[in-house]
A and B are shown apart, each in its own frame.
Chain A
Amino acid sequence: MKSKVILIFLILFFAFAQYWGLVRAPADRMMGDVYRILFVHVPAAWNALLLLTVSFVGCLLYLLRRKEFWDRLAHSSMEIGLVLTGLVLPLGSLWAKPTWGVWWTWDPRLTTTMILFILYAGVLILRQLIDDPVRRAKISSAVGLLIYLNVPIVYLSVRWWRSLHQLQSSPSTMDPQMVLALRLNAFALLGLAVFFLVQRMRLLKREALIEEKESLPPPLPRGAQS
């Protein structure tokens, strides 16, 4: 009940932020209305990176503390981060086509995002293959750690390998209305992401509880001496 209220509020906030981006913010001098897709694209990218960072923290803390909570955090944030990463790519393409005239360029951000997507999808597939929950948590945390360390290296290497001119999407160069819209949308999406994160973690916890309940050790038979 409470979570439904929160969800409705978050959706309304998101709609409001979108309204601000689509209507209130002025059209761009160069790009016209096309640029408005950035109000979803950029927040999605920011939040994806944020969630993957959270999952890195989850992996690290799991290996240090061995508490299931951290594994659930790592798992959930990885899933949501992956969905957002998956959104970033096509949204970016939609923007790139009218702006740069191509769907795809070997821009370091694009390329890194693509590789990131494959890497994290790999971990989630890996999780499916391990039955024992403790081993699953250990192994996927180890991999999650290594993958995250790789992110800056991938970025750097692709940037040196071939860099197109960088498009700055930081708010400093934009109209104040645009900045506001971008910030609103970033927070709206963040709210939704956190909401889903919490829900996903709860779900995982319940699944684990059910699993445990269904397979409680059989009760001691009457009079058994062990």
Chain B
Amino acid sequence: MNNIIEMVEIGRRFDRSWVLAHMNLTIKKGESVALFGANGSGKSTLLKILATLLSPTTGRFQIFGKNPEKEKSFIRRHLRLLGHDKQLYGSLTPLENLRLAARIRGLDYNDKIFESLLGQLQILPFKDQPIGELSEGTKKKLVLAKLLLGDPELILMDEPYPALDKSGREILGHLIHEWRHEGKTLIIASHDHEETIKHVDRVLTLQGGMISS
């Protein structure tokens, strides 16, 4: 079982238009892959399908060797998605947001762990401030901290760079480095080609609903 993702002839349509078509994709365990493509080329759609949040219209695929129709919860337990949306609660503090995510994940962490995560992302000083009052970049860092909860095998990132400052990018670079070292599989969709290319083994480009590499 070396392939973490196997997609065969995946297609997805919204109303009458096909966003993805004839998509064949194999990603090996431990690979780190960049996903490039123009606006609207279907990067986010592909990542959502991988995260079992959207079902494909045609084709079939497997993640971790499992069928996403049948073993949704197994797949979800072993992957993490950083999406366009921050998935945070504005009136809760960073600490409370992390605590909620950990409890839903079934992780039995104490506040020390959360604080060290926040420290790692250099946002510890904001830990007790409602998120609604924080800057975009700070929120983005909190989203990154959420990725660190538990021990996901597959990490999907949809545009991780916007809103991050220089130090934020360095931190993320460092995280990615560690993840790769630990043998995790990464997919990064981004428009920031230079930054992304530093961290990946190969580049996939989405065009006309298909991968051209």
Contacts and interface: CB of A to CB of B under 8 A. Distances in A.
A and B: direct contact (Cβ < 8 Å)?
yes
A200 B11 CA distance: 30
Interface of A: 131, 134, 214-215, 217-218, 220-221, 224-226
Interface of B, helix, strand, loop or mixed by DSSP: strand
Contacts of A214: 16
B163 to A, nearest CB: 31
B168 interface: no
A215 B11 CA distance: 11
A214 B15 CA distance: 11
Contacts of A226: 22-24, 210-212
B21 interface: yes
A131 B15 contact: yes
Given A217-B22, A218-B209, A226-B210, 7 more contacts: A134-B55, A214-B16, A215-B16, A217-B11, A217-B18, A217-B57, A224-B210
Contacts, number: 32
Contacts of A215: 13, 15-18
Interface of A, helix, strand, loop or mixed by DSSP: loop
A126 to B, nearest CB: 19
Interface of B: 11, 13, 15-18, 21-24, 55, 57-58, 208-212
Contacts of A220: 22
Contacts of B21: 217-218
A218 B12 CA distance: 11
Nearest to B57: A217
Contacts of A224: 22, 210, 212
Nearest to A66: B69
Contacts of A134: 55
A224 B22 CA distance: 10
A137 to B, nearest CB: 13
Contacts of B208: 218, 221
A172 to B, nearest CB: 53
